[in-house]
Amino acid sequence: MCGTEVVALLQTLLSFTDTVAAGVRRGMHECRYQFRWHRWNCSFSQPPAFTDTAGLQVTPEMAYVQAISAAGVVHVVAKNCSSGHIDNCRCDETHDGRRVGVNWNWGGCSDDIRFGVSICKTFMDAVEPNKDARAAVYLHNTEAGRRAVRRTLRLMCKCHGVSGSCTTSTCWLQLAQLRSVGNFLKKRHARAVKVDFQNGVMQQQTNTKWYRRKQPIKVTDLLYVTPAPDYCWLNGTQRTLGRHCVRPAKGAGGTSYERRSCRVLCRACGLDVSETQVMVETGCHCRFHWCCAVRCAHRLECFSSSLLSVLASISGDGPVSSRCQRLWGEPGTIECRESNTFHLCLVFV
């Protein structure tokens, strides 16, 4: 490859840096959503995707981060291509015109997932030049993330025919929402596989909870080397202090993680749940006045917010008990009467 071709290739790759970075951020946002009711809530000062991975321990949670970051990159690159936001790529037209069944054929604008996978490999796999167990696990997990995007693709079709009949259909492949990919990988995280590296071969350890006898490691499995630490305490810090949890009413909906959040985040970590009153102001009955202003009445409401506090920090017999009235009117027209007020040591995050 001559010098001008190398320069052209580098310029092409540099044009994708912002898109790749946006994909990693999308992946981290999805990670925080998926683990919002877990002791470990995907909290990083900066995304670990492009940082030096030599000092990182590959726990089941880090395996999820590696996979969802790769999935986010593939998702954003492919979606931006089909939307026309990137000059160097468009829709995937490799199947267009092919007749698959009696009543339908390929067409439309399929998301170019192959191009997204190619860009993801170029940027993400290149940061791991080592050949040890941690490097092998990292490359496996990023591939698992890319496969998760493929597994969640949706077949979309549009009917053609006289008077609304569906005589023939044109179909294309469309990316699912990243939430679907996150859910897919979350199930894999729950059954992550512990491996070791012997004689250059990655092997599943037999003394783990999810050991599958005589079953090879699957490409969609999430792999880890180091067991997860105690996320109640990490580096001498009580990590769940100040986190929000949910106390749903009896028979109320919500996921199992939400219903168990106060027990998992709080009591199991030696903390107690404290309720505090939070006042929220929202606009209502908004009207346009000529010219040119929108004026609203204000609704002020009090909500109970369950926060975590150290049991020993409560002086008295119980937490704050407030009775709040819901009123309509101008700001400041809410009345909250407190009784049995005690001092709480809370940390808000």
CB 98 within 8 A of CB 109: no
Mean of the per-residue pLDDT values for the chain?
76
Residue 230 lies in a domain: no
Same domain, 215 and 289: no
In the chain, pLDDT over 90 holds for what percent of residues? 27
Considering its fold, how many domains does the chain have in total? 2
Q: Between these two residues, 325 and 133, which has the higher pLDDT value?
A: 133
CB 133 within 8 A of CB 195: yes
Residue 64: pLDDT above 50?
A: yes
CB atoms within 10 A of CB 241: 20
Residue 7: pLDDT above 80?
A: no
Same domain, 172 and 315: no
Burial of 164 (0-12, 13-18, 19+ CB in 10 A): exposed
Residue 229 lies in a domain: no
pLDDT digits (tens, 9 = 90+) for 147-176: 999 999 998 888 888 776 778 888 889 999
Pair of tokens at residue 147:
């496969």
Find the CATH number of the domain harbouring 310.
3.30.2460.20
Burial of 290 (0-12, 13-18, 19+ CB in 10 A): exposed
Mean pLDDT on 7-19: 72
Nearest to 181 by CA among 221, 212, 214, 153: 153
pLDDT digits (tens, 9 = 90+) for 32-63: 999 999 999 988 756 666 555 556 788 999 99
Residue 107 lies in a domain: yes
pLDDT, position 338 = 34
Residue 135 lies in a domain: yes
DSSP assignment letter at 46:
S
How far does CA 54 lie from the centroid of its chain? 24
Domain range for 269:
237-339
Instruction: For the chain, report the end-to-end CA distance as a whole number of angstroms.
Output: 52
pLDDT, position 170 = 85
CB 186 within 8 A of CB 144: no
